[in-house]
Amino acid sequence: MALPVKRNQADVTRWDPVTELSGLTHRLARLFDEQGSEFLLGAEGFTPRADLEETDDSYVLEVELPGVKKKDINIEVFGRRLVISGERPEHERSGWLRRQTRAWGRFRYEVTLPESVDEQGVEARLRDGVLHVRVGKSTSGQRRRIEVK
C-alpha cells in the first residue's frame, strides 16, 4: 500500500492566465520581428505607424513614411473609411545585408473614423517623412447648441 505524500503550499503553483498571455504575446512579437513584414502581411506589405487625433472640426492623422515620395502615396476617403497606401522602394545595396529591420515595399494604413466626414474637405501634406492628413468632419453630423428664448 502506498503512503500519501504530504505537500506543503510552496510546492503548489497556481495557473495565472495573465502571465501566460503576456508571455505568449512576447513570444509572438519576437517571432514577427524575426520574420519581417512579409510574414505578417504577405503581399499587402507593411502597416506604417500612425497617430489619429480628433479636434472639434476635424480628424488629424500623422503617418510615418520616411523615404516615401509624394507620388508614391495614394489617399482615398469613402464614407467614414480613410485608406492610405503606396510603396516604399528598397534602395540598391552594394554590400552584404547582415540585418534588416526596416520595412520596404507596399504599405497600407486603414482606419474607420467615428463620425461621418466631409470627403471634399481632405488636406494632405508630406513633410520630414511624416504624412499629415486632415479630414474635416461633416457639418450635418455636428452638434449645434440651441439657445432657449
Residues 6+ apart with CB under 8 A from 121: 58, 135, 136
Name the pTM for this structure: 0.63
Across 95-111, average pLDDT:
85
Residues 6+ apart with CB under 8 A from 129: 64, 65, 66, 67, 68
> How many domains does one find in the chain?
2
Q: Are 133 and 123 in contact (CB under 8 A)?
A: yes
Tell me the C-alpha distance between 69 and 130, whole Å. 11
Residues 26, 84: one domain?
Answer: no
Q: What confidence category does residue 118 fall into, taking pLDDT thresholds of 50, 70 and 90?
A: confident
Name the residue range of residue 23's domain: 17-42
pLDDT tens figures, 7-56: 665 556 677 888 888 888 888 877 766 665 455 555 557 899 999 999 98
122: domain CATH number?
2.60.40.790
Buried b (16+ CB within 10 A) or exposed e, 110-126: ebebeeebbeeebeeeb
Judge whether residue 142 has pLDDT over 60. Answer: no
Cα-to-chain-centroid distance, residue 29: 14
pLDDT tens figures, 57-66: 899 999 999 9
Helices (H), the chain: 17-35, 37-41
Judge whether residue 149 has pLDDT over 70. Answer: no
Residues 127, 80: one domain?
Answer: yes
